[in-house]
Amino acid sequence: MSEIQVWTLIFVVLTFGVYIYVAYASRVSDTSGFYVAGGGIPAPANGAAIAADWMSAASFISMAGLIALAYNGYGGSAYLMGWTGGYVLLALLLAPYLRKFGKYTIPDFVGDRYNETARLIAVVCAVVVSLTYVVGQMAGVGVVFGRFLEVSTEVGVLIGMAIVLFYAVLGGMKGITWTQVCQYSVLIVAYLIPAVAISAKITDWPLPQIGFGQILTELEALQSELGFGPYTEALTGSGQFNMFLLTATLMFGTAGLPHVIVRFYTAKNVRAARYSALWAIFFIALLYTTAPTVAAFAKYNILDESQAGTLADQSWFDKWADVGLITGVDGGAVVDTNGNGAIDFAGSAGNEVLINNDILVLASPEIGGLPAPIVGLVAAGGLAAALSTASGLLLVISSSVANDVYHKRINPQASEQRQLTVARISMAVAVLVAGWLGINPPGFAGQVVALAFGLAAASFFPILVLGIFWKRCTAAGAAAGMAVGLAITAAYFVWTLPSESAWFFLGKDPILDIAPVGFGFIGMLANFAVTIVVSQFTTKPSETMQELVEEIRYPGRTDLVAKHAQGDV
């Protein structure tokens, strides 16, 4: 075992031990505890849990690589703004009101505010979106285990599943929330330490957010020398328009993702829900303002090595080549094609190497020449990010099935104990399905995760906002809006996605140059339009429902909401 593996093992065993202990200490015995942690999580802890829930394997492992390599700098900002800007919408438009309504799940709100048809559409959306998302997390767990501990992806996924199974089934939302608080601490420390160390090493500033301003000029010089486009140059024309669409889709999608929205139900009250949103965006911003610095420093280091002709001599280079995440341009072995005695990483002709987006963060401590314990810590951080998001998603699946389908539709008389058993069983089944999909990912999994945001924006966001802010928004309107938003967004994906990744994708040219990942925003506009128009022509909600919607606008105890909670309205 190498030094790095020993340290990785130490950190992984240590952190997993903490998660298991915390989960055991916060095990639950009622449905309120299982679904919403009894609604008793203090705001800072809830904010940290939201942040860990939100920041997935994609944020931790992939995002910096996406910015530096796939988008070559500026264009990747769509992800930075998109995955944070949605919290402003959540905090201002959804969180306080949904918390006041006081339900367990998003389909619960949709079902009570509109009708049973809308509830079922919402259940299907919630399960599909969450399941596609969780596959990516399981795959992320596999990558970390595979590279750092040299176990196979299957074994890695199985270890991850066993841990999640233990604390999610035992503790439900309460166990998940307190574990996520620990996971946030692990992942943020793991992300910040290497970034601060590298910034201090290369620039005069230990604060990477300021330090990376000092290398931008040199980075631009290296970029142009090696044939890459300018790193900081803004996009124009259709590139700019598509960046807007992608950013907007990610923002509205964030505000429509069930596993994010449901977190605000765990707050103590309306005021705590607002504060939870504030803590969440603060904790998320710590990582999201650091990610572009990790991207810039890593790119700078790699280009510097490439220019000096020493890229392939780096110890990290061979390790990642061994697991197939660094390859030659044809996807095979790395070859010195032009025979100049060095491996060249270049932006144009003469490039000899492909570097996978996912390795940038995991390799950045090694790229920056930091000691082995830090490398091990980053591996534990990547696992924390993947596991915390996976558990949040699994809870959405389990609660949608147990609460919205079993309790509300199949057996309304079910005892508390019975409901809890069903919730635990569906959680266990969800973990097994997610694990199976993680080991055998469908060919189109990568794209589907990116598209989950489009589907969430086009289905949930408009009907939630209108359901709160427009008393006369009708059930027929919401059902039609959700159906149309989902249908045109899904249809556009089928139309444009490359036909080789799944038999039902057609691979046609985009309409008006609109990239499929940004289409969710257009689906969302269609949903808004349809919901509003259909609501004008259909039976208005009952007086009581209109009064109930009015009441969720005001914090504090109000009569109708209280009666509704007891099932009297």
Q: Under 8 Å CB-to-CB from 41, ≥6 apart: which residues?
A: 49, 177, 266, 267, 268, 276
Nearer Cβ to other proteins, position 270 or 448? 270
276/459 with CB nearer other proteins: 276
Q: Is 269 a binder of other proteins (CB under 8 A)?
A: yes
User: x/- binding map, residues 98-137, to other proteins, per CB under 8 A?
Assistant: --x-xxx---------------------------------
Assess 566 for contact with other proteins (CB under 8 A).
yes
Q: In terms of CB distance, is 92 or 335 closer to other proteins? A: 92
Name residue 354's beta-bridge partners. 327
Helix (H) or strand (E) holding 247: helix 237-254
Does the footprint of other proteins cover residue 7 (CB under 8 A)? no
Task: Return d(Cα 291, Cα 128) in angstroms, integer.
Answer: 29
Query: Among residues 204 and 330, whose Cβ is nearest to other proteins?
Result: 204
Alpha carbon of 531 to those of 459, 466, 486, 524, 538: distances in Å? 11, 9, 13, 10, 11
Strand pairing report for 354-355 and 326-327? antiparallel
Which whole-number Å values give the CA distances from 233 to 71, 177, 253, 288, in the listed order?
A: 12, 41, 27, 20
Long-range contacts of 363-367 (CB under 8 A, 24+ apart): 363/298, 363/316, 363/320, 364/64, 364/194, 364/195, 364/198, 364/294, 364/297, 364/298, 365/194, 365/197, 365/198, 366/314, 366/315, 366/316, 367/298, 367/301, 367/302, 367/314, 367/316
Among 121-129, 265-273, 420-428, 522-530, the segment contacting other proteins (CB under 8 A):
265-273
Instruction: Determine, following the binding rule CB under 8 A, whether residue 88 of this chain makes contact with other proteins.
Output: yes
Map tokens 């996520």 to a residue. Answer: 180
Q: Does 348 bind other proteins (CB under 8 A)?
A: no
Among 72, 77, 115, 546, which residue sits at the site for other proteins (rule: CB under 8 A)? 77
Q: Kind and range of the H or E element at 354?
A: strand 354-355
Among the listed ranges 212-220, 302-310, 360-368, 520-528, the one in contact with other proteins (CB under 8 A) is 212-220
Q: Give me the least distance between CB of 38 and other proteins, in Å please.
A: 8
Residue 519 sits in the site that holds other proteins (CB under 8 A): no
Residue with Cβ nearer other proteins (84 or 351): 84
- Cβ at position 299, least distance to other proteins in Å: 13
Instruction: Please give the Cα distance from 283 to 356 (Å, whole number).
Output: 27
Among 66, 127, 188, 281, binds other proteins (CB under 8 A): 281
Q: Per CB under 8 A, which region of 51-59, 191-199, 306-314, 555-563 contacts other proteins?
A: 555-563
For residue 177, CA distances in Å to 50, 285, 420 come to: 8, 20, 18
Does 247 contact other proteins by CB under 8 A? yes
Q: Which of residues 28-67 bind other proteins (CB under 8 A)?
A: 32, 35-36, 38-39
The residue with tokens 């619960």 is: 108
Where along the sequence are the contacts to other proteins (CB under 8 A)?
A: 32, 35-36, 38-39, 73-74, 77, 80-81, 84-85, 87-88, 91-93, 96, 100, 102-104, 209-210, 212-217, 232-236, 240, 243-244, 247-248, 251, 265, 268-272, 274-275, 277-278, 281-282, 285, 288-289, 292, 550, 553-557, 561-562, 564-567
